[in-house]
Amino acid sequence: MSVVGSVVGFMIQTLAVSSIYILVAIGLSITLGTLKFVNFAHAAMYLAGVYIGLGIALELQFSGDIARSIGLGNVGLDLGFLAALAIIPIITFGLGLLMERFVARPFYDRPDTDQILVTFGILLIVQELIRAFVGGRSLTFSRPAWAEGAISLGPLGTYASWRLAIIGITSVLVLAVYLYIEYTDVGLAVRAGTEDTEMVNLLGVRATRPFLVIFGVGSGLAGAAGVVGGPVFSVVPEVGVGVLVPAFLVVVVGGVGSIVGSVVGGLLIGAVEVGLVMNAPTWSSVGIYALAAVVLLVRPAGLMGAVEVDE
Amino acid sequence: MLLETKGLTKRFGELTAVDEVNLQIQEGDSLSVIGPNGAGKSTTVNLITGLLNPTEGKVLYRGEDITGQEPHEIVQQGLSKSFQTASIFPDLTVERNAVVASLGAEHGSFSLNFLRRLGNYDDVLERAEQTMRDMGLYEQRHVEAKSLPYGDKRRLEMALALASDPDLLFLDEPTAGMSPDETDDTVDLIERIKEERGVTIVLIEHDMEIIFRVSDRIAVLNRGAKIADGTPDEIQGDPDVQEAYLGGVEI
């Protein structure tokens, strides 16, 4: 393979991995920025995206102990991948609104440690519920037929269509959310609220609703990440924790409350991970922690962050 | 009567920060609240603007009880406050800062307009623009707030308080940290706001020169209690004030 080809190949693989981290990280980042809420349960939205998405796109086999004892069989709408991609963000947006109301809101004024314990606990509960009903074994989330095979990009080489599809879908979603935040009243309240929530209130803007909406939007993106990530990462109950860690590092690297920061952080984390997986696989997870540690040492607020993480 | 407090009291544990303070503010009549450090000036304002809830007492705005309302509700009624420390949104442009503040006054509750494009409310944009022009910040509207020089930051801060088009504006040490020139400009600005917009101003200040230039009436607090209230001339001659506030030194 030519040098250009291998560089482009590396970039495309990085973009594909980064895409999923970015989609999960944006919600984490915005919630931390606006509501100062550390929401590890955010990864439950990814799980919802994977498992409900599988049920919508194809078929979900219930083979966990509880499902067997009550005789629950297979449930599948078989509507295809695109239908899942369209429906899941709406479902997870709704789940996000519920989560804000019943999980997040009672804990806004509590210390970060309480928030972490509760939200991580919820993530584990969701994970174990999935194990009890669906089962712990790895399921297959097949790629849609239209994304099988490879596409030739002329002199740049030939690449898996699926990776290009992931990159395209993520770009559209991230751009839409970016424009929403940049050009609407809700978005302005969110951005101002990220900088100084109390001040927004004192100016007569009731930011609760914009914050709620953006919580839902973040959840919607994490759900979409589950649909996109299902065929990439394995479909097991632990995959929620599996994407949570890199997504959280993306927020640390990129800076809290910034979409551009999440994108930059996601690309860096993705590049380090892919680079190490290709050349020194055993070091890949060490590498992303090391990157996050270095960024925190040099720029405590992250690359694009307005506020420091501990604020 | 535009604003009235009746027996306003705030206790933090054993400490009585504000002790049965009664203030009366007539429309168009600017009041300065003075007193030594720790006299309870800022706490009093925070009780009025809803940042703190009083332990006892009432706040009446145009005769209506607004005690214990949320800060955003109080702002929407026409009370606004500019702060001691630079309270602006540093990463937003001057223009966006002004728009956020204008949004507050009328459309700040976000009922059902989640997808509304920024700038669909003409009145919000108009008011933001007018405020920027009034405060001499219009030329810098595309500059990020954090890149403004110190004096301009303080003016932007005042602009934010003004953008909600208040009837009553609290200014908490608006010239703190300013150079003599900047202080002079700011006092001119306050006088202009008073005249052109007809805003009633409550000023918290240490600088006697500013107080005597701007205020129609002065209220003096000491250890949380009001010890005097009157015109600048009356206050100047008041022996209690000289004793408590100036340690007996002639003003």
Q: Is the pLDDT of residue B94 over 90?
A: yes
B88 contacts in A (CB within 8 Å)? 199
Which structural domain, as residue segments, surrounds residue B4? Answer: 1-76+202-251
- Find the mean pLDDT for residues B38-47: 88
Closest CA in chain A for residue B105: A204
The beta-carbon neighbor of B117 closest among A183, A205, A213 is: A183
> Taking a contact as any Cβ pair under 8 Å apart, which residues of chain B between 164 and 203 contact chain A?
164
Closest CA in chain B for residue A192: B89
Band of pLDDT at residue B251, cut at 50, 70 and 90: very low
Q: Is the pLDDT of residue B86 over 80?
A: no
- Find the mean pLDDT for residues B8-33: 90
Give the 3-state secondary structure of residue A78. Answer: coil
The beta-carbon neighbor of A205 closest among B97, B108, B116 is: B108
pLDDT digits (tens, 9 = 90+) for B181-193: 888 888 888 888 8
B109 contacts in A (CB within 8 Å)? 206, 209
CB pairs under 8 A between A and B: 99
- Find the mean pLDDT for residues B74-83: 79
Q: What is the pLDDT of residue B155?
A: 85
* Dist. CA B121–CA B128, nearest whole Å: 11
* pTM over 0.90, yes/no: no
B71 contacts in A (CB within 8 Å)? 201-202, 204
pLDDT tens for chain A, 311 residues: list them.
Answer: 577 778 888 999 999 999 999 999 999 999 998 888 999 999 999 999 999 999 999 988 888 888 778 877 788 888 999 999 999 999 999 999 999 999 998 998 889 999 999 999 999 999 999 999 998 889 989 888 888 888 887 777 788 888 999 999 999 999 999 999 988 888 888 998 888 888 887 787 878 888 999 999 999 999 999 999 998 888 999 999 999 999 999 999 999 988 999 999 999 999 999 999 888 888 888 899 999 999 988 888 888 875 544 43
Residue B240 falls inside a structural domain: yes
For chain A, say whether B91 makes contact (Cβ under 8 Å). Answer: yes
The beta-carbon neighbor of B108 closest among A183, A196, A206 is: A206
Say how many domains are in chain B. Answer: 1
Closest CA in chain A for residue B110: A209
Closest CA in chain A for residue B95: A188
Q: What is the pLDDT of residue A308?
A: 46
Amino acid identity, residue A63? S
Residue B206 falls inside a structural domain: yes
Residue B24 falls inside a structural domain: yes
The beta-carbon neighbor of B100 closest among A184, A205, A209 is: A205
Question: Are B72 and A185 an interchain contact pair (Cβ–Cβ within 8 Å)?
Answer: no
Residue B197 falls inside a structural domain: no
Within chain B, strands assigned E span 3-12, 15-25, 31-34, 56-61, 64-65, 79-82, 168-172, 200-204, 217-222, 225-230
Q: What is the pLDDT of residue B122?
A: 67
H or E stretch at A151: strand A150-152
For chain A, say whether B10 makes contact (Cβ under 8 Å). Answer: no
Band of pLDDT at residue B84, cut at 50, 70 and 90: low
* Dist. CA A85–CA A23, nearest whole Å: 13
A59-73, A176-190, B57-71, B86-100: which has the minimum mean pLDDT? A59-73
Question: Are B116 and A185 an interchain contact pair (Cβ–Cβ within 8 Å)?
Answer: yes
Going from the C-alpha of A100 to that of each of A48, A103, A108, A180, B238, the distances in angstroms are: 16, 6, 10, 20, 57
Question: Are A186 and B114 an interchain contact pair (Cβ–Cβ within 8 Å)?
Answer: yes
ipTM > 0.90 for the complex:
no
Q: What CATH number is attached to the domain comprising B12?
A: 3.40.50.300
Residue ranges and CATH numbers for the domains of chain A are 3-298 (1.10.3470)
Question: Are B100 and A201 an interchain contact pair (Cβ–Cβ within 8 Å)?
Answer: no
Residue B148 falls inside a structural domain: no
Q: Is the pLDDT of residue B164 over 80?
A: no
Band of pLDDT at residue B50, cut at 50, 70 and 90: confident
